[in-house]
Amino acid sequence: MSIRLSPRDMSGLTMLAEMYGAPMDVVAEMLGVSSSRTYRIVSRWAVAGMISDRRPRPVLGPAWIFPTKSSAEALLGRPVRYWVPTPKMAAHTKAVFQLRLALTGMDLDRWTSERLLRGEVGLVKAGQTRPHIHDGRYVTAAGDLWAVEVELTAKSAAAARTSVAQALDVARRADCAGLTYYCRGEAVKNAIRTAAAGLDLSAGPKLTLTDLDQLLVKKAETSSSLAPRPGLRVIAGGAADHEIPQVTDRNDGKAV
């Protein structure tokens, strides 16, 4: 059976390959269609051999879809490791995917995924430490490159301090204008604030904090307030909207 895939199909599949995979509700959000329509589209992708026939539920909620290893390699133009959603990574993978949709929609040119960044680093020689890899980087509407970290749980003080320092160093070496931590809850934000307290933030990339869930809710409210129109994507403002030369909480505009 021959399946013809549209340019929008290929964009969606490429985005899935870049982001590893997603639950069905996030796929529907990505495509901007109903749940029933999403299932029909996903069925075509499966018949075309572009996604796995497996529909795992690593956590409570909708089933996940993900490209096969061969289709991911074809879409990304590079070798990739086999990937299947696991309970340990499901929440983080979903959160990063939703953040990408909120910031850049389906624009494939403005977001560089963790999977692509990891591929650029390549294999690390025995005895060497793999450099920090951001959860993503994106180009704002103003043309600035920002690095992204998504934190859902608070790290220990030592781990957070090391992670923030490394993330900032990699952002500096990548010529990023800034680095935003998208955090779930005040405990996570406080851990990042504490970790950054001893760092010199007077030069280099700006460091900002944003409440992840508030951003996603705001994006969803903005989307629902607009009349449905095929192909319409809502792109939220970028991390560089408010520039404060310290660790900044983007929700209240105050240095923290």
- Structural domain spans, the chain: 1-85, 88-256
Res 204: pLDDT: 87
DSSP string, 148-196: EEEESSPPPHHHHHHHHHHHHHHHHHTT-SEEEEEESSHHHHHHHHHHH
pLDDT reported for residue 251? 53
Burial class (CB in 10 A: 0-12, 13-18, 19+), 13: buried
Tell me what pLDDT residue 255 has. Answer: 37
Query: Residue 234: its pLDDT value, please?
Result: 38
User: Domain 1-85, what fold?
Assistant: Arc Repressor Mutant, subunit A (1.10.10)
Global pTM reads 0.87
State what percent of residues in the chain have pLDDT above 90.
76
Q: What is the pLDDT of residue 229?
A: 45
Check if the beta carbon of residue 44 is closer than 8 Å to that of residue 60: no
SS3 139: strand
Which residues does the chain have with pLDDT short of 70?
A: 1, 122-128, 225-256
Predicted pLDDT of residue 245: 35
Contacts of residue 57, Cβ cutoff 8 Å, sequence gap at least 6:
63, 64
- Per-residue pLDDT tens over the stretch 169-218: 999 999 999 999 999 999 999 999 999 998 888 888 999 999 999 999 99
- Distance between CA 186 and CA 168 in Å, rounded? 21
Pull the structure tokens for residue 111. Answer: 């977001």
